[in-house]
Amino acid sequence: MAFLKYSAATTLLLAIVVALAVVVVVQAQQACPVQLSNLNVCAPFVLPGAAAPSSECCSALQSVQQDCMCSTLQITARLPSLCKLPPIGCAAN
């Protein structure tokens, strides 16, 4: 009988841990679009020949989590193939 109580408690604890992990992942997914939308202040600085980024742009960039930025760049790199276009090649400057 004690085994059943321990097993039920362990199962409940595992369910709580899994639920918390799901909440963390969902919150991170919801935060990424907000973080990226804050980068709109950087738009003028990504054009060729643009001036150095403003302090607002640098602050917005600093607030973007690395995982958010990396996944966004990976998705962006895949867009041409998903649109059946040739891959983009950039010359090193």
Q: Could you give the C-alpha distances from 77 to 21, 39, 51, 86, in angstroms and in order?
A: 28, 18, 25, 11
List the pLDDT tens digit at each of the 93 positions of the chain: 444 455 666 665 556 656 555 544 545 556 788 888 898 999 998 888 899 999 999 999 999 888 888 888 888 888 889 899 998 887 765
Domain ranges of the chain: 2-43+54-81
CB atoms within 10 A of CB 39: 16
Cα(93)–Cα(91) distance, rounded to whole angstroms?
6
Please, are residues 17 and 1 in contact by the beta-carbon 8 Å criterion? no
